[in-house]
Amino acid sequence: MNNYQVLRISYNETKPFILDIHYAKRMPSISYSFGLYLENELVGVVTYGSPASSSLCRGIAGDDYKKIVLELNRLVLKNNIKNEASFLVSNSFKQLPKPSIIVSYADTSQNHTGYIYQATNFIYTGLSDKRTEWRMKNTNKHSKTICEQYTLEERKNNPDKFEVIDRPRKHRYIYFIGNKKDKKTLINKLKYPISKYPKFNNKNYLTDTDIQTQGLLI
Protein backbone atom coordinates (compact mmCIF):
# COMPACT_ATOMS: atom_id res chain seq x y z
CA MET A 1 0.00 0.00 0.00
CA ASN A 2 2.99 2.29 -0.53
CA ASN A 3 1.18 4.52 -3.01
CA TYR A 4 -1.81 5.12 -0.73
CA GLN A 5 -2.52 7.69 1.96
CA VAL A 6 -5.52 8.52 4.14
CA LEU A 7 -6.39 12.19 4.66
CA ARG A 8 -9.22 14.23 6.17
CA ILE A 9 -11.68 15.36 3.52
CA SER A 10 -14.67 17.68 3.46
CA TYR A 11 -18.35 16.75 3.66
CA ASN A 12 -18.83 17.72 0.03
CA GLU A 13 -16.00 15.48 -1.11
CA THR A 14 -17.84 12.46 0.28
CA LYS A 15 -21.01 13.09 -1.71
CA PRO A 16 -20.09 11.49 -5.06
CA PHE A 17 -19.22 8.26 -3.26
CA ILE A 18 -22.14 8.19 -0.83
CA LEU A 19 -24.87 9.40 -3.19
CA ASP A 20 -23.69 7.82 -6.44
CA ILE A 21 -22.03 4.55 -5.35
CA HIS A 22 -23.40 3.54 -1.96
CA TYR A 23 -26.62 1.50 -2.03
CA ALA A 24 -28.48 3.71 0.48
CA LYS A 25 -28.10 6.89 -1.65
CA ARG A 26 -28.47 8.96 1.52
CA MET A 27 -26.09 11.25 3.41
CA PRO A 28 -25.67 10.26 7.07
CA SER A 29 -24.68 12.45 10.00
CA ILE A 30 -20.96 13.11 9.50
CA SER A 31 -18.56 14.41 12.14
CA TYR A 32 -15.34 13.09 10.60
CA SER A 33 -14.63 12.04 7.02
CA PHE A 34 -11.49 10.57 5.51
CA GLY A 35 -10.44 9.84 1.97
CA LEU A 36 -8.28 7.09 0.56
CA TYR A 37 -5.94 8.47 -2.07
CA LEU A 38 -4.08 6.41 -4.62
CA GLU A 39 -1.37 8.86 -5.58
CA ASN A 40 -3.54 11.97 -6.25
CA GLU A 41 -6.85 10.24 -6.94
CA LEU A 42 -9.58 9.90 -4.32
CA VAL A 43 -10.63 6.24 -4.51
CA GLY A 44 -12.54 5.70 -1.27
CA VAL A 45 -14.19 7.37 1.69
CA VAL A 46 -15.05 6.46 5.26
CA THR A 47 -17.26 8.61 7.49
CA TYR A 48 -18.07 8.74 11.19
CA GLY A 49 -20.92 10.47 12.97
CA SER A 50 -23.17 10.46 16.01
CA PRO A 51 -25.38 7.35 16.12
CA ALA A 52 -29.06 8.00 15.46
CA SER A 53 -29.97 6.20 18.68
CA SER A 54 -29.10 7.82 22.02
CA SER A 55 -29.96 4.55 23.74
CA LEU A 56 -27.23 2.84 21.71
CA CYS A 57 -24.67 5.39 22.95
CA ARG A 58 -25.63 4.61 26.53
CA GLY A 59 -26.05 0.91 25.92
CA ILE A 60 -22.53 0.12 24.77
CA ALA A 61 -20.57 1.13 27.87
CA GLY A 62 -22.93 3.18 30.03
CA ASP A 63 -23.64 6.85 30.58
CA ASP A 64 -20.05 7.71 31.46
CA TYR A 65 -18.88 6.87 27.95
CA LYS A 66 -21.88 7.74 25.79
CA LYS A 67 -20.29 10.97 24.51
CA ILE A 68 -17.32 9.19 22.93
CA VAL A 69 -19.39 6.83 20.78
CA LEU A 70 -19.05 7.32 17.02
CA GLU A 71 -20.71 5.31 14.28
CA LEU A 72 -18.72 4.28 11.25
CA ASN A 73 -21.68 4.95 8.98
CA ARG A 74 -20.30 4.84 5.45
CA LEU A 75 -17.42 2.99 3.82
CA VAL A 76 -17.35 3.25 0.05
CA LEU A 77 -14.60 2.30 -2.38
CA LYS A 78 -14.45 3.11 -6.06
CA ASN A 79 -12.62 -0.04 -7.15
CA ASN A 80 -12.15 -2.08 -3.97
CA ILE A 81 -8.66 -3.31 -4.70
CA LYS A 82 -7.41 -5.86 -2.19
CA ASN A 83 -6.56 -4.39 1.24
CA GLU A 84 -7.92 -0.92 0.41
CA ALA A 85 -10.82 -1.15 2.85
CA SER A 86 -8.78 -2.32 5.84
CA PHE A 87 -6.03 0.23 5.05
CA LEU A 88 -8.58 3.06 4.94
CA VAL A 89 -10.35 2.05 8.14
CA SER A 90 -7.22 1.38 10.20
CA ASN A 91 -5.52 4.61 9.11
CA SER A 92 -8.64 6.68 9.74
CA PHE A 93 -8.69 5.33 13.31
CA LYS A 94 -5.29 6.93 13.89
CA GLN A 95 -6.80 10.35 13.16
CA LEU A 96 -9.91 10.10 15.35
CA PRO A 97 -10.14 11.50 18.91
CA LYS A 98 -8.88 9.23 21.68
CA PRO A 99 -10.45 7.54 23.47
CA SER A 100 -13.35 6.69 21.15
CA ILE A 101 -15.84 3.87 20.86
CA ILE A 102 -16.59 2.97 17.24
CA VAL A 103 -19.76 1.09 16.38
CA SER A 104 -20.77 -0.07 12.94
CA TYR A 105 -23.27 -2.39 11.34
CA ALA A 106 -23.39 -4.92 8.53
CA ASP A 107 -26.84 -4.91 6.93
CA THR A 108 -28.39 -8.38 6.64
CA SER A 109 -30.91 -7.05 4.11
CA GLN A 110 -27.94 -6.45 1.79
CA ASN A 111 -26.46 -9.87 2.67
CA HIS A 112 -23.53 -8.19 4.42
CA THR A 113 -21.74 -10.07 7.19
CA GLY A 114 -19.06 -7.52 8.10
CA TYR A 115 -15.96 -9.07 6.59
CA ILE A 116 -14.05 -5.78 6.73
CA TYR A 117 -14.70 -5.49 10.48
CA GLN A 118 -13.47 -8.98 11.05
CA ALA A 119 -10.33 -8.18 9.03
CA THR A 120 -9.67 -5.12 11.21
CA ASN A 121 -10.29 -6.88 14.56
CA PHE A 122 -13.59 -5.34 15.59
CA ILE A 123 -15.50 -7.03 18.42
CA TYR A 124 -18.70 -8.72 17.26
CA THR A 125 -21.67 -8.26 19.60
CA GLY A 126 -24.47 -10.01 17.75
CA LEU A 127 -27.52 -8.78 15.86
CA SER A 128 -29.45 -5.60 16.50
CA ASP A 129 -32.86 -6.00 18.14
CA LYS A 130 -36.02 -6.71 16.18
CA ARG A 131 -38.14 -3.59 15.80
CA THR A 132 -40.28 -1.64 13.37
CA GLU A 133 -39.63 1.76 11.84
CA TRP A 134 -41.36 4.37 9.73
CA ARG A 135 -40.69 4.65 6.01
CA MET A 136 -41.79 7.31 3.57
CA LYS A 137 -42.80 5.74 0.28
CA ASN A 138 -40.69 6.51 -2.79
CA THR A 139 -37.90 8.08 -0.70
CA ASN A 140 -34.82 6.82 1.08
CA LYS A 141 -35.23 9.05 4.14
CA HIS A 142 -34.03 7.62 7.44
CA SER A 143 -36.74 6.73 9.96
CA LYS A 144 -35.36 9.25 12.47
CA THR A 145 -35.57 12.04 9.89
CA ILE A 146 -39.17 11.13 9.05
CA CYS A 147 -40.17 11.17 12.71
CA GLU A 148 -38.51 14.54 13.20
CA GLN A 149 -40.18 16.10 10.16
CA TYR A 150 -43.69 14.67 10.52
CA THR A 151 -45.91 14.17 13.55
CA LEU A 152 -47.24 10.75 14.48
CA GLU A 153 -50.71 11.94 13.52
CA GLU A 154 -49.51 13.00 10.06
CA ARG A 155 -47.86 9.62 9.55
CA LYS A 156 -50.85 7.61 10.72
CA ASN A 157 -53.35 9.64 8.71
CA ASN A 158 -51.46 9.33 5.41
CA PRO A 159 -51.04 5.59 4.73
CA ASP A 160 -50.57 6.31 1.03
CA LYS A 161 -47.41 8.23 1.95
CA PHE A 162 -46.09 6.53 5.11
CA GLU A 163 -45.76 2.94 6.23
CA VAL A 164 -44.37 0.96 9.16
CA ILE A 165 -42.00 -1.85 8.24
CA ASP A 166 -39.88 -4.40 10.05
CA ARG A 167 -36.39 -2.99 10.37
CA PRO A 168 -33.76 -5.35 8.95
CA ARG A 169 -31.55 -6.76 11.68
CA LYS A 170 -27.89 -5.85 11.43
CA HIS A 171 -24.64 -7.37 12.63
CA ARG A 172 -23.18 -5.04 15.26
CA TYR A 173 -19.43 -4.52 15.53
CA ILE A 174 -17.50 -2.42 18.07
CA TYR A 175 -13.92 -1.14 18.20
CA PHE A 176 -12.14 0.75 20.98
CA ILE A 177 -9.60 3.45 20.13
CA GLY A 178 -7.14 4.64 22.76
CA ASN A 179 -4.10 3.64 24.76
CA LYS A 180 -3.85 0.31 26.57
CA LYS A 181 -5.45 1.69 29.72
CA ASP A 182 -8.37 3.20 27.77
CA LYS A 183 -8.99 -0.03 25.88
CA LYS A 184 -8.87 -2.13 29.04
CA THR A 185 -11.33 0.18 30.79
CA LEU A 186 -13.74 0.26 27.85
CA ILE A 187 -13.78 -3.47 27.23
CA ASN A 188 -14.51 -4.01 30.92
CA LYS A 189 -17.44 -1.58 30.62
CA LEU A 190 -18.85 -3.21 27.47
CA LYS A 191 -22.45 -4.18 28.14
CA TYR A 192 -23.03 -6.32 25.06
CA PRO A 193 -21.89 -9.96 25.12
CA ILE A 194 -19.00 -10.74 22.78
CA SER A 195 -19.85 -13.35 20.16
CA LYS A 196 -18.06 -15.30 17.48
CA TYR A 197 -17.88 -13.72 14.03
CA PRO A 198 -20.75 -14.69 11.71
CA LYS A 199 -19.87 -16.76 8.67
CA PHE A 200 -22.32 -17.03 5.78
CA ASN A 201 -20.88 -19.09 3.00
CA ASN A 202 -23.84 -21.02 1.63
CA LYS A 203 -25.33 -20.35 -1.79
CA ASN A 204 -28.16 -18.24 -0.36
CA TYR A 205 -25.80 -15.39 0.52
CA LEU A 206 -23.49 -13.16 -1.44
CA THR A 207 -20.02 -13.01 0.06
CA ASP A 208 -18.72 -9.65 1.25
CA THR A 209 -16.20 -9.77 -1.58
CA ASP A 210 -19.06 -10.04 -4.09
CA ILE A 211 -20.83 -7.15 -2.46
CA GLN A 212 -17.75 -4.94 -2.23
CA THR A 213 -16.84 -5.37 -5.88
CA GLN A 214 -20.32 -4.13 -6.76
CA GLY A 215 -19.68 -0.89 -4.84
CA LEU A 216 -22.06 -1.86 -2.05
CA LEU A 217 -19.95 -1.41 1.04
CA ILE A 218 -21.61 -0.24 4.26
Q: How large is the average pLDDT for residues 53-71? A: 94
CB 13 within 8 A of CB 36: no
Dump strand ranges (E) for the chain.
4-8, 32-38, 41-49, 69-77, 100-107, 123-127, 132-136, 162-166, 170-177
* Band of pLDDT at residue 211, cut at 50, 70 and 90: very low
Q: Quote the CA–CA distance of 111 and 214 in Å, as a whole number.
A: 13
Looking at per-residue pLDDT, the higher value among 18 and 133 belongs to 18
Whether the model pTM is above 0.85: no
- Burial of 18-46, coded b for 16+ CB within 10 Å and e otherwise, reads beebbbbeebbebebbbbbbbeeebbbbb
- Domains of the chain (ranges; CATH) run 4-129+169-213 (3.40.630.30), 132-166 (no CATH)
Q: Is the pLDDT of residue 164 over 80?
A: no
Q: What is the pLDDT of residues 192-208, one digit of tens each?
A: 999 999 986 543 333 44
Res 192: pLDDT: 95
Task: Identify which has the larger pLDDT, 88 or 80.
Answer: 88
pLDDT tens-place string over residues 116-129: 999 999 999 999 87
